[in-house]
Amino acid sequence: MKEINDLALQTVQEKAKLLRQDIIRMLGQSGSGHTGGSLSAADIVACLYFWEMNVDAANPGWEDRDRFVLSKGHGAPVLYAALAEKGFFPREQLATLRKLGSPLQGHPDMRKLSGVEASTGSLGQGISWAVGMAMAARLDNRNHRIYTLLGDGELEEGLVWEAVMAAGYHHLDQLLAIVDYNGLQIDGRLSDVMSPEPIADKFRAFNWNVLEIDGHDCRQIMEAFNAARQIKGAPTAIVAHTVKGKGCSFMENRVEWHGTAPNQEQMEKARVELGK
């Protein structure tokens, strides 16, 4: 059990703020990309990379590292911001997001960018990779953990539930899946499009351990990570209640910010709200 002291909490909160600032800057510079879902995941990703996971930028292929698979690959900006801050590549490269020849592709590409564990973007596939990675860890008698982040809309893909079924059946307790439960997909609210709800009950039915938390409360996120480590014999799902666009009031809970990048004026407005 890792202790959650004030310093740890303050650190992840500051990192989450930095990730949000980077996300806005990167997307503003690229002129296209997915703003809402990057911002909703910022606290979760900050807690993963700056508290929970064991990774080493100097040794990205280290066999005992923890793995993170961004199953909702369109959230690439939040992952890139975290990897840059971790030192996997120079921060200046963030400015090349989505540009021709950049290793920072529109969706994460493991063959182009250090620190990216899986090439995702086609929804539903990342969690299958994560299940395979957890199986490999067990086969090799290694203790590292596998983390994957899914969108709530992504849960509509049948492949997700094939993976969830397999992980439950195989008792993969090294696997942790986090759902970014922001209630929105592209065409509207989950409840108006094709809802996968109730979400927690579905994971339970597939023999997972389930925790429900506020996905913007870093203490709750860290406590859930701690709790998940104690569970043996079953994978854990964290259903994290979030707000799409979190941190920029004019983007929060607005479906039109799913796949829109901020213009100059909106970048300024966001900068005022996010600081820096």
Partner 1 sequence: MEKQATRDAYGKALAELGELHQDVVVLDADLSKSTKTADFAKAFPERFINAGIAEQNMIGMAAGLAASGKVVFASSFAMFAAGRAFEIVRNSLAYTRLNVKICATHAGITVGEDGGSHQSVEDIALMRSLPNMTVEVPADGSSARLALHALYDRPGPAYLRLGRPSVPTIYPADMDYEIGRAIELRSGKDATLIGCGIMVARCLEAAEQLSRQGIELSVVDMHTIKPLDEEMIIRKARETGAILTAEEHSIIGGLGSAVCETVCAHYPVPVFRMGLNDVFGQSGSPEELMQYYGLTTDKIMENIQLLLKTK
Ligand X SMILES: Cc1ncc(C[n+]2csc(CCOP(=O)(O)OP(=O)(O)O)c2C)c(N)n1
Task: List the one residue from 35, 71, 119, 148 that touches partner 1 (CB under 8 A).
Answer: 119
CB of 138 vs ligand X, minimal distance in Å: 28
Report if residue 157 touches partner 1, rule: CB under 8 A: yes
140 vs 227: CA distance, rounded Å: 24
CB of 173 vs partner 1, minimal distance in Å: 28
Q: Which residue ranges make up the site for ligand X (CB under 6 A)?
A: 36-37, 40, 72, 74, 121-124, 151-154, 180, 182, 184-186, 244, 258
Task: With CB under 8 A as the rule, give the number of residues binding partner 1.
Answer: 33
Beta strands in 109-234 (DSSP E): 146-151, 175-181, 209-214
What lies within 8 Å, CB to CB, of 245 at 6+ separation is 35, 36, 39, 40, 251, 252, 253, 254, 257
> Sheet harboring 175-181: ordered strands across?
67-70, 146-151, 175-181, 236-241, 209-214
H/E stretch holding 228 reads: helix 218-230
- Whether 256 and 187 have beta carbons less than 8 Å apart is answered as no
H/E stretch holding 130 reads: helix 125-139
Report if residue 142 touches partner 1, rule: CB under 8 A: no
235 vs 29: CA distance, rounded Å: 39
Q: For the CA atoms of the chain, what is the radius of gyration?
A: 17
Task: List the one residue from 151, 196, 247, 262 that touches Mg ion (CB under 5 A).
Answer: 151
By CB atoms closer than 10 A (0-12, 13-18, 19+), residue 192 is exposed
Report if residue 215 touches Mg ion, rule: CB under 5 A: no
Binding mask 29-68 for partner 1 (x = CB under 8 A): -xxxx-----------------------------------
Task: List the one residue from 35, 71, 174, 185 that touches partner 1 (CB under 8 A).
Answer: 185
Interface residues for Mg ion in 156-185 (CB under 5 A)? 182, 184
CB of 255 vs Mg ion, minimal distance in Å: 9
Q: From partner 1, Mg ion, ligand X, none, which one binds at residue 119 (CB under 5 to 8 Å depending on kind)? A: partner 1
Report if residue 99 touches partner 1, rule: CB under 8 A: yes
Chain contacts with partner 1 (rule: CB under 8 A): 30-33, 73, 98-102, 104-107, 109, 119-124, 153-154, 156-158, 185-187, 193-196
